[in-house]
Amino acid sequence: MGAQLRVYKRRIRSVTATKKITKAMEMIAASRIVKAQRQVAASTPYASELTRAVTAVATGSNTKHALTTEVENPVRAAVLLVTSDRGLAGGYSSNAIKAADKLTERLRSEGKDVVTYIIGRKGVAYYGFRERPVAESWTGFTDSPTYADAKKVAGPLIEAVQRDTAEGGVDELHIVFTEFVSMMTQSPVEKRLLPLSLDVTDEAAEAGKGKILPLFDFEPSAEGVLDALLPRYVESRIYNALLQSAASEHAARRRAMKSATDNAGELIKSLSRLANAARQAEITQEISEIVGGSSALADANAGSD
């Protein structure tokens, strides 16, 4: 009985130490979510307005540009996958990887070759273990990205878009990341960055009938303006995706660590009940042995009389 009680106490100490670690990680993730949310809120208007400006330039001119022109028969597409550098975040990275796999299958079913770019050690490890080709990867900044990180990622992607497909270029650029919806909901999404979609809804077209549309003058030219906007557009969109993913990662980690802390608490309660039962059984056995020994001694004294 004593050995069993020691085992329970040792397990309780171990689980208690684990609970302290998971609770600390939960609090750290919760404190980082606020900063990540503020960064998302600050970057989203800039990315939206830049997209609106690019759309205005594209619709206000007849210039054919890689930023806005659909290739008639696209043969190669680039997919940028955003995962995390660290684990203990539930299904955050695995959900993004599944979304990227579905996108890759769809693009290949359309007859396109897929070139994969990855952000985050989890995605790199997943593709490396399965020996899948990766054009380029970046790690070390997923939980706290900066605009410089987005610029570093955007460089090779912009070069690939501007190159001819015969020289290893791509016709399309897609990104897969996790969108921060709320503290409890983070959804993996895939979006096409290039060519920029200029679809106009029927409602918008009907509302625009009979109205005088603005005229634009481009200096030095519409193509020159688009050339200048292309890097800014891609960088801003990637930066916003990185911030969305960082906020989602912290929220997922907080939720996972809270679940682990709660489970550790329940396990400690269960082990404490077992330890109390073992201790009670040990005490009962000791009392029984004392009573039995006392009775045997009394019987022996009675026999000697």
Residues 234-283 pLDDT 10s:
899 999 999 999 999 999 999 999 999 999 999 999 999 988 888 888 78
> So what's the pLDDT on residue 265?
92
| pLDDT tens sequence across 141-175 | 998 999 999 999 999 998 998 888 888 889 999 99
pLDDT at 179 over 90: yes
> So what's the pLDDT on residue 200?
43
- The contacts found for 284-290 with CB under 8 angstroms, 24 or more apart, are 285/1
- The whole-chain average pLDDT of the chain stands at 84
> What CA–CA distance (Å, rounded) separates 86 from 142?
9
Task: Say how many C-beta atoms besides its own lie within 10 A of residue 198's C-beta.
Answer: 12
Element containing residue 261 per DSSP (H, E): helix 222-304
> What CA–CA distance (Å, rounded) separates 103 from 172?
13
Vertex 37: Cα angle to 34 and 41 (nearest 5): 140
> So what's the pLDDT on residue 305?
58
Whole-number Cα distances in Å, 17 to 32, 260, 265 = 23, 12, 11
> So what's the pLDDT on residue 2?
66
Among residues 231, 246, 273, the alpha carbon closest in space to that of 35 is found at 246
Structure-token pair, residue 303: 């026999």
CA Rg value for the chain: 31
| Neighbouring residues of 113: CB distance < 8 A, sequence distance ≥ 6 | 75, 76, 77
- Pair 134, 116: CB distance under 8 Å: yes
- Secondary structure in 3-state letters for 123-147: HHHHHHHCCCCCCEEECCCCCCCCH
List, edge to edge, every strand of the sheet that includes 113-119: 136-138, 113-119, 76-82, 172-180, 186-194
pTM of the full predicted structure? 0.80
